[in-house]
Structure 1
Amino acid sequence: MGKICAVVTINRESVGGGAPIFVENSADHAEKTAFLLEKILDASTHDLKNGTFILVSHAAK
């Protein structure tokens, strides 16, 4: 089972929860931030197709 380790969005009102939330001002910036965080966090980026990306860690612990 994976764990959501970050959320990147262009619509702050559409997300919530305990993971860090990064709010960007455009879809392009959100995508770039998500893919950069993917590398930094060693996670998988999943595009929800609504201006929001979730980064999920599938690492076994």
Structure 2
Amino acid sequence: MEGKKNLRMRAARVAKDLSQADLARAVGVTRQTIGLIEAGGYNPTLKLCTDICKALDVTLNDLFWED
């Protein structure tokens, strides 16, 4: 995923009416980390991926699986 924008994560976050800062607080990271994940500049750990999915009420496949 690194180097490729995660537009699905951004879309899911916006659909839940969450800012990057809101999501970051919910999963225990900084806003910058969420921004980097969405921009494709950071490859999150599996734990962080699952925490993000729980916060956004989506599955890992919804956000991170490449078609």
Q: Report which of the two has the higher share of strand.
A: 1
What TM-score do you get using the length of structure 2 for normalisation?
0.35
Larger Rg: 1
